Amino acid sequence: MTGSEALAHRFEEHRGHLKAVAYRMLGSLSEAEDAVQEAWLKLSRTDTSDIQNLGGWLTTVTGRVCLDMLRSRTARREEPMGDTQDTVGAFVPDPVLRPLSHIDPAEEVLQADSVGLALLVVLENLTPDERLTFVLHDMFAVPFDDIAPIVERSAAATRQLASRARRRVRGATPSNEPDLGRQKQVLDAFLAASRAGDFEALVAVLHPDVLLRADSGALVRGAAASKLVQGAKSVAEQALMFAPFTLSAELVLVNGSVGMINAPEGRIQSVMGVTIADGRITDMYILADPERLRRLEAPRA
Query: Of all helices (H) and strands (E), which one includes residue 212?
Result: strand 206-215
Per cent of the chain over pLDDT 70 is 88
The Cα 152–Cα 170 span in angstroms is 25
| String of DSSP letters for 99-155 | ETTTS-HHHHTT-TT---HHHHHHHTTS-HHHHHHIIIIIIT---HHHHHHHHTS-H
User: What domains lie within the chain, and their CATH numbers?
Assistant: 3-86+121-170 (1.20.140.160), 180-294 (3.10.450.50)
The Cα 58–Cα 149 span in angstroms is 15
Q: Provide the whole-model pTM.
A: 0.86
Task: Give Dmax over CA atoms of the chain in angstroms.
Answer: 67
Q: What is the pLDDT of residue 123?
A: 95
pLDDT tens per residue across span 76-127? 645 444 444 444 578 899 999 998 875 554 444 444 446 899 999 999 999 9
Rounded mean pLDDT, 66-72: 95
Rounded mean pLDDT, 17-37: 95
pLDDT tens per residue across span 200-249? 999 999 999 999 999 988 655 444 578 899 999 999 999 998 888 888 89
Contacts of 5 (CB under 8 A, 6+ apart): none
Q: What are phi and psi of 260, to 5 degrees?
A: -150, 155
- Using alpha carbons, select from 188, 190, 138 the residue that is nearest to residue 165: 138
pLDDT tens per residue across span 116-128? 999 999 999 999 9
Q: What is the pLDDT of residue 29?
A: 93
pLDDT tens per residue across span 149-191? 999 999 999 999 999 999 999 988 888 998 999 999 999 999 9
Crossing angle between the packed helical segments 54-76 and 144-151, to the nearest 10 degrees: 40
Which of 68-77, 126-135, 289-298 is the least confident region? 68-77
Q: Is-contact 112 16, C-beta < 8 A?
A: yes
Rg (CA), the chain: 20
pLDDT tens per residue across span 238-288? 999 888 888 889 999 999 899 999 988 888 999 999 999 999 999 999 999
Q: What are phi and psi of 280, to 5 degrees?
A: -135, 150
Q: Is-contact 272 285, C-beta < 8 A?
A: yes
How far is the first Cα of the chain from the last one, in angstroms, to the nearest whole number?
37
Give 42's pLDDT tier (boundaries 50, 70, 90). very high
Alpha-carbon separation of residue 104 from 99, 101, 110, 179, 263 (angstroms): 11, 7, 10, 11, 24
Q: What is the pLDDT of residue 73?
A: 82
**10 Å Cβ neighbour count for 27?**
22
